[in-house]
């Protein structure tokens, strides 16, 4: 029964959220709650496990030595995945030997 967690995290149980939104909500809540601990290491718990840094570098096409770098911390990294042969075949039926089943008819 998740009702205690829903109450503690101040989640609107009637509002629909996808996994990404829930993950962000959960990590933010954990950071707030763990940051209230007695030991300073508690506040860094979520960051030490999930935080990363992304760097964006822009280089001048006429003078590649002239660059600009921007760094940002993140708790979640979104990536666009492209279909692969394996994922496109995931929906097709196969036997254990890798051969497709014979068609009836």
Q: What are the tens digits of pLDDT across the range 17-41?
A: 777 788 888 888 888 777 655 555 5
Q: What are the tens digits of pLDDT across the range 46-94?
A: 788 888 899 999 999 999 899 999 999 888 777 777 877 666 655 555 5
Q: Identify the pLDDT of residue 23.
A: 83
Torsion of CA 76, 82, 88, 90, to 10 degrees: -20
Q: Identify the pLDDT of residue 5.
A: 75
Closest CA to 45 of 57, 59, 33: 33
**What values do phi and psi take at 54, rounded to 5?**
-110, 140
């Amino acid at each position: 029964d998740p009702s205690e967690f829903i109450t503690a995290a101040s989640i609107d149980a009637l509002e629909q959220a996808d996994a990404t939104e829930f993950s962000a909500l959960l990590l933010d809540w954990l950071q707030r709650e763990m940051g209230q601990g007695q030991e300073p290491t508690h506040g860094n718990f979520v960051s030490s496990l999930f935080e990363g840094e992304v760097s964006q570098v822009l280089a001048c096409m006429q003078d590649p030595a002239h660059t600009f770098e921007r760094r940002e911390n993140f708790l979640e990294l979104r990536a666009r995945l492209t279909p692969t042969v394996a994922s496109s075949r995931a929906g097709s039926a196969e036997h254990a030997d890798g051969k497709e089943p014979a068609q009836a008819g």
